[in-house]
Structure 1
Amino acid sequence: MKKDPLFTLLLVLLLPLIQACESKHEKAPVVPPKSNYVFSSIKEIPALPVTDQNSSGTCWSFSTTSFLESEIMRLKGEKIDLSEMYFVRCAYLLKAQNYILRQGTARFSEGGLNHDPMMSSTQFGLLPQSVYTGLLKGETQHNHFNLFQALESRVKPYANPASKLGAEWRKEVPSILDGFLGKVPDQFQYKGKWYTPMSFLDYTQLNPDHYLTITSFTHVPFYKPFVLSIPANWAYERFYNLPLDEFMENIDHAIEEGFSLALDLDGTEPTFTAEIGVLPQKQEDKTLILTQIRPEKKVTLQMRQEAFENFQTTDDHLVHIIGKVQDQHGNLYYKAKNSWGPKAGRQGYMYLSVAYLKMKGISVLLHKEGLIETTRQKLYRSPVQATSIQQE
């Protein structure tokens, strides 16, 4: 989308941090100086400390990993630092298979969505961070440029039926991942006991079948599962469609009941920074609102749909919603744990206004028990729902 010249100048003057985000290498906005926003907590859900995706397009993994860590605390009462890079590795295995078997007509990129780790954990299990960091000896930061280049250069030839290369990619792709991220142990010790990735999933008490993704759009029926047509949905996974007000009500209900959520959102707006995401009512306020509280738009489902269909709203970044706060005027915001490191935003956290989330929040992943009961009943009535939230 077009960027305002004043915003561009602001970015230049403030030396923005550069981060890789989702499937694009995107500029991580810098907090404007002298912000007058004062936030006080209303509800906060326990989460592990902020981490840094560094130069990797893996915000989808970092946000979901943080979400699952909070879920383990909720279910088991134990803090377990999970491996983000194990999810990345497993996703690449599935992406390569999908891309090759579809003869190159599918998407193969660094990006992904919150349901990717849920999907891969069913097949590959989980690993703790202490066992699989994705960093080789001497490395301290993630940089996946060479990794992706190596994978892409080998996956593409296998996707060409004329190449007659067969299925050797099933050995070659894991070998590339071993070389850049490290080998996966068949067994490992955790707190004095031996586990496999699958038995460790059982240990965490997580059940991937108990999670679903909800959204709100008008081009598909409400209360029905559908494949959301966005680039990062390489796996053609299903989302569950709700009216906009009900979508927001379920987010609020989940937080109130102690459930956090993993959020996919549009981070391209000039009023989306490392600290806040806001949506000014007046265009002339779009610079001032970065530092001062200003009136925000009254978002409707029609506005949201139009922005999605004309690509003003795109899926660019994923974060972990861990609570709600209010500013000094009583306006509400969602507190989100980011993956740009503890020095970005407010010690690694950003605050998204209700208007911003309503307009720019693509979807949220949550535990089915976090839904409002009436919403759950409506989704249960869907005959194809049995493969997702009805499984126990």
Structure 2
Amino acid sequence: MSFEIDNSAINYFHEDYDQRKESAVLENAVTKNGVNAASFNWHSIADNAPHFSIDLKTGDVADQKQSGRCWMFAALNTMRHDMQHKFNLPDNFELSQSYQFFWDKFEKANYFYENVIKTAKLPTDDRKVAWLMAAPQSDGGQWDMLCALIEKYGVMPKSAMPESFNSNRSNGINNLLNNKLRHDAVILRKMVNDEHASENDLNIKRKEMLNDVYRMLAYAFGEPESHFDFEYRTKKDNEFHRDENITPQEFFKKYVGWNLDDYISVIQAPTADKEYYKTYTIDMLGNVVGGRQIKHLNLPMDEFKKLAIDQLKAGESVWFGSDVVKYSETKLGIMALNTYDYAKLFDTDLEMTKAQALDYGQSMMDHAMVLTGVDLVNDQPTKWKVENSWGPKVGTKGYFVMSDAWMDKYCYQIVVNKKYLSDKLKQAQTQEPIVLKPWDPMGTLA
């Protein structure tokens, strides 16, 4: 049974609209100012004042510019926070995001080739193949993907590999690189299906293709150095330090010094297909072939938040992923459910549970940031301090306020040190992960 919109229906809609006393005023307000301005709740500013009982000092806010590297910025920021404390580094110190960006795109190209060959016998309209070809690579990623890069390539300070035009504005190189990868996918699928190429022949061809990719990336971002000098002055006493001819791997070991195996991903996914206290991975998601596997431990919200609070209490910031665009006021730096009152403005019901929003595509993780504080009342969180990577001109010098209710609804992932897990959670985290489909919302890239 179908329903056609006819003149009778349109007349009904018009009459309902016309009889509402508020229609003319709201039409003027929304058409002139836009939906967000017309529905903005002024009280949300006072409700989300930037004051916190736990407030880590983390220095200047970085700026990812016109690129999708939030996951990378957020992860490197958690490391630089620790470095600034240990080595008395200046507030503007940063680790090189461009260095990780280069190797991430290079490794993603190889990871794409790997998946193209694995799915080569499937038709091009198969959902897995279509999913691969929709975005052969992008700027986005997850915590475990950054760990895979660091374990292989190390890190370096931003002074050793600064930003470039293309790292700050990645759309152009992304379009060209995806063009290249789809072009190569045609060749690899043909080699598998028509030429029945051997594994050795496929690897030879992949090496040729990767040589082209390497050259493209080196032109776009600059070729990474294998050794560099690290020079800095301390923040308090202005002492000069120089560490000469150091490798990125040596730099990570000496100046960051983290055991990345100690840091694990915890998700909050209340959908029926994901039991709590189980671990999950995502098919065909990653960047480094043979590198670290993406693995998530799913927990109820109260335990999820307790882990974040425990880590903040210990003085360590927390990487997290969320759906940042929902009910967020960027200029003021407010993420709260009462920021905009869309439902009252349009007199309609928009409410969905967190599980429904995930299942029906209304919400998913799209941005990674860093928790650097929390306001506790009777040991319960009311709001959180967030370090973004959109520069100092938004929020409070780049820092945002996230209400606790907003975290409940739109926060999906945190990264914590395993030492904060109970014995029960440590045991759960060791489980072999359940493999989710490539398009699962927990596989979206921040």
The TM-score normalised by the length of structure 1 is 0.77
Match of 2:168 among 126, 138, 142: 142
Alignment-derived partner of residue 120 in structure 1: 149
Partner Cα separation in structure 1 for residue 405 and residue 384 of structure 2: 10
Which amino acid is the alignment partner of residue 319 of structure 1? M
| 1:280–1:286 contact (8 Å) kept in structure 2 | no
| 1:215–1:364 contact (8 Å) kept in structure 2 | yes
Alignment-derived partner of residue 195 in structure 1: 246
CA deviations 1:62-110 (Å, max 9, x no partner) are 1111112123346666565211111211211221111111118435222
Which amino acid is the alignment partner of residue 140 of structure 2? G
Partner Cα separation in structure 2 for residue 48 and residue 273 of structure 1: 20
| 2:264–2:417 contact (8 Å) kept in structure 1 | yes
- Is 1:96 matched up with 2:136? no
**Structure 1 counterpart SS, 2:83:** helix
Alignment-derived partner of residue 225 in structure 2: 185
- Give the Å deviation of 1:233: 6.5
Q: How many residues align?
A: 346
1:73 and 1:192, CA in 2 relative to 1: closer, same or farther beyond 3 A? closer
Alignment of 1:272-351 (within 5 A): 272-274=329-331, 275-280=333-338, 283=341, 303-325=353-375, 332-351=382-401
**Structure 2 counterpart SS, 1:90:** helix
| 1:332–1:354 contact (8 Å) kept in structure 2 | yes
Partner Cα separation in structure 1 for residue 44 and residue 301 of structure 2: 34
Match of 1:248 among 291, 296, 305: 305
Which amino acid is the alignment partner of residue 280 of structure 1? N
**Structure 1 counterpart SS, 2:159:** coil
- Is 1:214 matched up with 2:266? yes
| 1:186–1:196 contact (8 Å) kept in structure 2 | yes
Match of 2:73 among 46, 52, 62: 62
1:345 and 1:31, CA in 2 relative to 1: closer, same or farther beyond 3 A? farther
Alignment-derived partner of residue 108 in structure 1: 137
- Is 1:356 matched up with 2:413? no
1:281 and 1:112, CA in 2 relative to 1: closer, same or farther beyond 3 A? closer
Q: Which runs of 5+ in 1 are unaligned?
A: 15-29, 288-298, 386-392
| 1:227–1:239 contact (8 Å) kept in structure 2 | yes
1:233 and 1:308, CA in 2 relative to 1: closer, same or farther beyond 3 A? farther
Alignment-derived partner of residue 202 in structure 2: none
1:224 and 1:279, CA in 2 relative to 1: closer, same or farther beyond 3 A? same
1:12 and 1:222, CA in 2 relative to 1: closer, same or farther beyond 3 A? closer
CA deviations 1:181-227 (Å, max 9, x no partner) are 11111111112322111111111212221211101224223222212
**Structure 2 counterpart SS, 1:112:** coil
Which amino acid is the alignment partner of residue 73 of structure 2? F
- Give the Å deviation of 1:286: 7.3
Match of 2:56 among 38, 41, 45: 45
Partner Cα separation in structure 2 for residue 259 and residue 250 of structure 1: 11
- Give the Å deviation of 1:344: 0.9
- Give the Å deviation of 1:316: 1.5
**Structure 2 counterpart SS, 1:128:** coil
Partner Cα separation in structure 2 for residue 277 and residue 246 of structure 1: 22
Match of 2:95 among 62, 82, 93: 82
**Structure 2 counterpart SS, 1:259:** coil
Q: Which runs of 5+ in 2 are unaligned?
A: 1-25, 120-128, 192-204, 231-241, 346-350, 434-446
CA deviations 1:210-255 (Å, max 9, x no partner) are 21110122422322221258x9867871111112211111112221
- Give the Å deviation of 1:38: 2.9
Which amino acid is the alignment partner of residue 162 of structure 2? T
Alignment-derived partner of residue 389 in structure 1: none
Alignment-derived partner of residue 258 in structure 1: 315
Q: What is the root-mean-square deviation in Å for CA atoms of aligned residues?
A: 3.5
**Structure 2 counterpart SS, 1:54:** coil
**Structure 2 counterpart SS, 1:102:** helix
The TM-score normalised by the length of structure 2 is 0.68
Which amino acid is the alignment partner of residue 298 of structure 2? N
Match of 2:181 among 148, 151, 155: 155
1:351 and 1:135, CA in 2 relative to 1: closer, same or farther beyond 3 A? same
Partner Cα separation in structure 1 for residue 76 and residue 42 of structure 2: 29
Partner Cα separation in structure 1 for residue 409 and residue 316 of structure 2: 22
| 2:50–2:385 contact (8 Å) kept in structure 1 | no
Percent identical residues: 19
Stretch of structure 1 that moved more, 334-343 or 148-157: 148-157
Partner Cα separation in structure 2 for residue 177 and residue 52 of structure 1: 21
**Structure 1 counterpart SS, 2:207:** coil
- Is 1:176 matched up with 2:220? no
Which amino acid is the alignment partner of residue 342 of structure 1? P
Partner Cα separation in structure 1 for residue 174 and residue 359 of structure 2: 30
Partner Cα separation in structure 2 for residue 116 and residue 46 of structure 1: 27
1:254 and 1:142, CA in 2 relative to 1: closer, same or farther beyond 3 A? same
| 1:42–1:326 contact (8 Å) kept in structure 2 | yes
